[in-house]
Amino acid sequence: MAEISILTSVYNCENYLSDFLDSILNQTFKDFEFIIVNDGSTDKSRDVIESYRDSRIKLYNFKENIGIAKALNFGLSKCNGKYVAKAD
């Protein structure tokens, strides 16, 4: 189990998502889980995330947008780390 969980929620951000994911995944500290909640995106955000083959990523998809607060609370319930870092 990773000591750190990184948590983020995404919604229709396919144009910026690769840069964001690369930024997180290319940190010098590597021992973390990356919880991503796709909050009902209608663009290709899900496809962008699924194109990454990194075992640290744990993706959860909602069929419709439930809002950032509910999405993050759901994601928080999935975090296993001792510490949680929220990433935007």
Distance between CA atoms of residues 20 and 22, nearest Å: 5
pLDDT given at position 88? 87
Chain centroid offset of residue 87 CA: 8
pLDDT given at position 13? 96
pLDDT, averaged across the chain: 97
Nearest Cα to 11, choosing from 41, 35, 32, 36?
Answer: 41
pLDDT given at position 1? 72
Q: What is the pTM of this model?
A: 0.96
Range 54-77 average pLDDT: 98
> What is the per-residue pLDDT across 19-41, written as a single tens digit (0 to 9) for each?
999 999 999 999 999 999 999 99
For residue 8, pLDDT over 80 is answered with yes
